[in-house]
Amino acid sequence: MLPAVFADDDLAQRFVAGLDDVLAPLHNTLDCLDAYFTPALAPADFTRWLGGWVGAGADGPGLPEDPAMLRAAVAAAVRLHRIRGTRRGLAEAIRLVFGVTPEITESGAAAWDARPLGPVPGERRPRLHVTVRLPQPGPADTHRLESLVAAARPAHMPYTVQVTAAERTSDR
C-alpha cells in the first residue's frame, strides 16, 4: 500500500514490515473491541477487570472464582444494580456468587386497603435472615455470605446469616 516510488525500495519495505508486526496486535484488538465488552466472549482476565469496572463485585465478597459464574455476574451487573436493596436483588446476588437459591425471611410486608388508617403490615422490628444450603460448606462461606448480605441488603435492616450443609438425597 506504499506509493510506487517506495514499492521497490528494500529499506522502505523492511521498515513497513516492522511496523506491521508492531501494530498488528493493536489492529486485532480494535477490530474485536465489541467482543471484549461482551462477558461471554471476553478473555478471563479482561472479564475480571470488567467486573470491577461495572461494580459486579465491588462491594462485599468480590467476584466469583469460577469463570462461568464470573461471566454471569458481570453480565448481570446492571440488572442487579436496578434491583439492589430488594429481596429479589439479594437472592439473585447470592445465587450468582454461591450457585444456589437462598432462603430469605424478613419482617417487611405490603398491603392495600380501601380505608385509611388500616393496620400496618409486617413486623414492628425490622429483621432479615438469610440461609444458604451448600453441598460442602467451608469456614469461609459464612464470611462471604455475611459480606454479600451486608452489601446487598436494604441499608436499615439488621440481618443474620447461616450456612448449612445441603441435605443429600439417596437414589434407592
In a domain, 42, yes or no: no
In a domain, 47, yes or no: no
Q: What pLDDT score was predicted for residue 104?
A: 95
Average model confidence (pLDDT) for the chain? 84
Structural contact between residues 132 and 159, judged by C-beta atoms closer than 8 angstroms: no
In a domain, 45, yes or no: no
Distances 29 to 36, 37, 43, 170, 172 between C-alpha atoms, Å: 8, 12, 12, 51, 55
Instruction: Tell me which residue range forms the domain holding 147.
Output: 88-172
In a domain, 104, yes or no: yes
List the CATH number of the domain containing 146: 3.30.300
The number of helices, as runs of H, and strands, as runs of E, in the chain is: 8, 3
The average pLDDT across 134-146 equals 89
Pick the residue with more confidence: 169 or 49?
49
Per-residue b/e over 82-106, b at no fewer than 16 CB within 10 Å?
Answer: eebeebebbbbbbbbbbeeebebeb
Span 41-92, pLDDT tens digits: 888 888 888 888 887 764 445 566 778 888 888 888 888 889 988 899 999 9
* DSSP-derived pairing of the beta strands 103-106 and 128-134: antiparallel
Please give the tally of structural domains in the chain: 1
Query: Strand order of the sheet with strand 103-106?
Result: 103-106, 128-134, 159-165
